[in-house]
C-alpha cells in the first residue's frame, strides 16, 4: 500500500492523508483507520485515481461528510475518496443553480434562502454534501432532493462523463439510482428552484432549527435517523412504544430525546453502535412484524 500511496503523490492526484482515523471523517466519530484519504483536484485526476485503484485491485470508497455512514472498527485497507475540491457553485438562470458534489448541502440551502429561491428549505438541517444528498435522496418535511434536482453530471464505471435527467435517477423515498449503481459517481447537480419570499423562508428555517434542537440529540455524535419511517407509521414511535429509549450498548445509546437516533455517548465503538441498531431492528421485527429499513450505510464490515 505504501508503494500505491507514493504513486498517488507522484502523479499529483491531490491532497493525500495517510493512516487517517475515520473517527475524524464521520459524524458518529467511530471507525478504524484508512490507509489513505485522497482529495482529487478535478475530474481528470479522479479518473486517474480510479484507474489506479481498479488496475491494482485497491478498494476505494467515495465519502461525503460521513453523516450517514458507519465504518467498522477495522482498518480500511484502501482509499477513501473525498470530493471536497468539487465545490463550485454558479447560477445558470435566475432560478437554477449548478453546484459541485462536494459542496455543503446546508451551505447551498442558506445560499438559496439568501437569493430568495424556494425549494431547499427542507435541507437547512441536513449536514451532508450535495453528492451524498443526491445519492441518498436526502429529505425532510415531506420533501427531498428528487423534487429539486433537474439533472446530474455523472462519472460512469467506464470513466466517461454523462448527464442524467431527474427521471433517469429514479428518486424515491430515501432512494436513488446511485444506491443501485454505486460505481457511478455524482460530480455535480443542477438544482431547479422557484422564486420565494426571503423573510418567510428565513422564518421557516428558524422555526425548523428550533424544532430540531428541541427534539433531536444534536449535542451528541450521531448519523441522524437510523431507520426509514414505514408507510403510515413512524420508526421513532415504534421504538419508543417498546420502551427502548435510553437502551445502552457500551458507549452507544438509543437517544432519550428521539428514539430513532442512536448516539455516541463519547466512548462508543462502531461495534457498539451496529449491535444496538441490529437489536432495535430485530426487536421491532419480532414485536410488530415490521422490517425497518436501516438508512445508514455500513462500510468495511465482514
Q: Which of 174, 198, 208, 212 is catalytic?
A: 174
143 is catalytic: no
Rounded Cα distance, 144 and 149, in Å: 9
Catalytic status, residue 212: no
Q: Can you tell me whether residue 275 is helix, strand or coil? A: helix
- The catalytically annotated residue of 72, 118, 225, 255 is 225
Give the CB-side neighbour count of residue 199, counting CA atoms within 13 A.
0
Q: What value does the CA radius of gyration of the chain take, rounded to a whole number of Å? A: 20
CA 161 from centre of chain: 22
Q: Which one of 48, 85, 295, 297 is the catalytic residue?
A: 295
Whole-number Cα distances in Å, 202 to 3, 127, 138: 51, 18, 21
Main-chain dihedrals φ then ψ at residue 89, nearest 5 degrees: -145, 130
- For residue 71, list its beta bridge partners: 299
Q: Is 274 exposed, middle or buried (0-12, 13-18, 19+ CB in 10 A)?
A: buried
**Range list of H helices, the chain:** 2-10, 43-56, 105-114, 130-136, 177-180, 198-215, 235-241, 270-288
Strand partners, 237: none
The answer to whether residue 295 is catalytic is yes
Which sequence positions are flagged as catalytic?
174, 225, 295
Amino acid at each position: 500500500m505504501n508503494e500505491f500511496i507514493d504513486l498517488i503523490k507522484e502523479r499529483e492526484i491531490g491532497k493525500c492523508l495517510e493512516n487517517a482515523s475515520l473517527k475524524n471523517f464521520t459524524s458518529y466519530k467511530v471507525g478504524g483507520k484508512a490507509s489513505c484519504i485522497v482529495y482529487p483536484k478535478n475530474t481528470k485526476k479522479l479518473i486517474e485515481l480510479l484507474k489506479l485503484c481498479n488496475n491494482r485491485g485497491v478498494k476505494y470508497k467515495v465519502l461525503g461528510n460521513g453523516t450517514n455512514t458507519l465504518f467498522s472498527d477495522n482498518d480500511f485497507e484502501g482509499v477513501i475518496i473525498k470530493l471536497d475540491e468539487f465545490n463550485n457553485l454558479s447560477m445558470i438562470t435566475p432560478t437554477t443553480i449548478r453546484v459541485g458534489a462536494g459542496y455543503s448541502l446546508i451551505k447551498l440551502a442558506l445560499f438559496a434562502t439568501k437569493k430568495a429561491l424556494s425549494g431547499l428549505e427542507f435541507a437547512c438541517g441536513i449536514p451532508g454534501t450535495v453528492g451524498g444528498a443526491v445519492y441518498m435522496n436526502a429529505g425532510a418535511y415531506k420533501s427531498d432532493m428528487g423534487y429539486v434536482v433537474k439533472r446530474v453530471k455523472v462519472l460512469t464505471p467506464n470513466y466517461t462523463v454523462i448527464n442524467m435527467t431527474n427521471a433517469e435517477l429514479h428518486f424515491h423515498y430515501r432512494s436513488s439510482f446511485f444506491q443501485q449503481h454505486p460505481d457511478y459517481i455524482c460530480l455535480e447537480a443542477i438544482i431547479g428552484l422557484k422564486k420565494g419570499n426571503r423573510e418567510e423562508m428565513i422564518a421557516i428555517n428558524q422555526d425548523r432549527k428550533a424544532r430540531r434542537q428541541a427534539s433531536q440529540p444534536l449535542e451528541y455524535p450521531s448519523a441522524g435517523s437510523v431507520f426509514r419511517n414505514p408507510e403510515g407509521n413512524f420508526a421513532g414511535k415504534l421504538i419508543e412504544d417498546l420502551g427502548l429509549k435510553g437502551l445502552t450498548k457500551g458507549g452507544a445509546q438509543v437517544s432519550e430525546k428521539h428514539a430513532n437516533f442512536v448516539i455516541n455517548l463519547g466512548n462508543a465503538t462502531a461495534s457498539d453502535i451496529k449491535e444496538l441498531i441490529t437489536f432495535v431492528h430485530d426487536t421491532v421485527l419480532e414485536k410488530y412484524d415490521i422490517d425497518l429499513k436501516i438508512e445508514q450505510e455500513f462500510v468495511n464490515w465482514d
